[in-house]
Structures are given as structure tokens and as C-alpha cells.
Chain A
Amino acid sequence: DIQMTQSPSSLSASVGDRVTITCRSSQSISDDLNWYQQRPGKAPKVLIYAASSLQSGVPSRFSGSGSGTDFTLTISSLQPEDSATYFCQQNHITPFAFGPGTKVHIK
């Protein structure tokens, strides 16, 4: 099975900061990588699919990149509403594993 890792596990940043989260897969998954945001008490919401495609309705400050085994999610200018946990997920082959998550705090 493919294993997903993320770093950091948590971060604290100020409004307006550029934030980068990294996701790594245990084997190549091409660009079959998605990013989700989960706010406390809410269901997850997709931000980025196919590694770099922005889901409709998601602010353009979110972007994704990468292919193979290494991927990044970038928030270009952090906003207060971005306080959440972010998960990557591979859909290359079942079981579709999620990363352990990165919790983003606003200073």
C-alpha cells in the first residue's frame, strides 16, 4: 500500500504570510494527489485536485504543485479563515490513503 507523509505536522503563521505544506508518497503516484481543508467540527473540503488544479470556488491564494512522490500546497497570503487542518490524499491506487494532516494556526 502507498503511504503518505506530510510536513510540518503543525505551523503557526501571521496573516499575509506565505505558507507551504509538503506531502510525500512512498511510491510514485504521478499527479494523482488531492488536497483537502478541514475546519474544526466540519467536513473536509477539496481545495486542489490532480496536484495543481484549483477546485471551483476556492480562493486563488491556494495552489498546488508536484508530481511523482513530492507535492506542495501553498497559501500565498494567509487569511484568518485559513486556520484549519490540511490533508493530502492519493487516488493513484486503492487504498486511497490520506496524509496525517498539517494544522495551521494563525498568530
Chain B
Amino acid sequence: EVQLVESGGGLVQPGGSLRLSCVVSEFTFRNYWMHWVRQAPGQGLVWVSRISNDETSIAYADSVKGRFTISRDNAKNTLYLQLNGLRVEDTAVYYCVRGRPLANRGSDCYLDYWGQGTLVTVSS
């Protein structure tokens, strides 16, 4: 069974940093594009970032550009999100998500497997 397990969340003061990790299993990680999606308490889903399988294509939401960095280690089956310059409005559950390719449509067409999420709380 495909699994994605996030870790690294916690309580941090404004301006602080955290590094989120997502360890995956039961699929060939190096073949898939991966995403981070977040959800503030009681709010909707917000796409945060995406990385291609070979790290050549990376994209960010405007709200995190310049502060967050996505990366991956295909040898360790692990996705990362480095969060710097954290703000109160970054408080959310952060989900690690797999991008599903479709033949003749591209490498990253929908989000098919989600982790259980890790909570990041930014507060003084």
C-alpha cells in the first residue's frame, strides 16, 4: 500500500524556521513529481509547491516564494520542505502529495495519494 508519512511540524515563533520531511514507500519515488499542500485550521486547501522527479522543474505559490524551498532525495525516498521566515498565516497542516501522470497529458495531472499531514503552528 502506498504510504506518505510527514514529520517535522511543531510550534515555532514568527521569523523562525522548520524543515518538513515526507518519507514514502510502496512506489518508485524517483518516477513521480511531488507536491506540498497546506490547510489552515477550518480553512480550505492551498497548493504550496511542486517538484519534478529529477528536480529540474520547481514551482511555488506566490505566498511562499522566497521563503520556502522544496527538495527531494530520491535515494532516501524522501521529500522535503524548508520553511524560513515563518509568519502567523503559515499556520496549517502541511500535506505531502504525489502527482499522478497521465498518458499524453503530462507528468503531473492530479494528486492521487496524500499523507496524513503535519501541523505547523507559528505563534509567539
Judge: A and B partners, yes or no: yes
B115 touches A43 (CB 8 A): yes
Range class of the B interface residue count: 20 to 34
* Bitwise interface map of A from 72 to 107 toward B, beta carbon under 8 Å scored 1, else 0: 000000000000010101010011111111000000
Is B88 interfacial (CB-CB < 8 Å)?
no
Is B27 interfacial (CB-CB < 8 Å)?
no
A32 touches B109 (CB 8 A): yes
Is B62 interfacial (CB-CB < 8 Å)?
yes
Closest chain-B Cβ to A20's Cβ sits at a distance in Å of 20
Closest chain-B Cβ to A65's Cβ sits at a distance in Å of 16
Is A22 interfacial (CB-CB < 8 Å)?
no
B114 touches A44 (CB 8 A): yes
State the main secondary structure of chain B at its contact with A. strand
Specify which of B37, B45, B114 lies most central, judged by the most chain A CB atoms within 10 Å of its CB.
B45
* Bitwise interface map of A from 44 to 61 toward B, beta carbon under 8 Å scored 1, else 0: 111001100001000000
Is B2 interfacial (CB-CB < 8 Å)?
no
Range class of the A interface residue count: 20 to 34
- Using a CB–CB cutoff of 8 Å, the interface residues on chain A facing chain B are 1, 32, 34, 36, 38, 43-46, 49-50, 55, 85, 87, 89, 91, 94-101
B99-118 at interface with A (beta carbon < 8 Å): 100, 102, 105, 108-112, 114-117
Q: Which 3 A-B pairs have the closest CB atoms?
A: A94-B59, A43-B114, A49-B110
A34 touches B110 (CB 8 A): yes
Specify which of B37, B100, B110, B115 lies most central, judged by the most chain A CB atoms within 10 Å of its CB.
B110
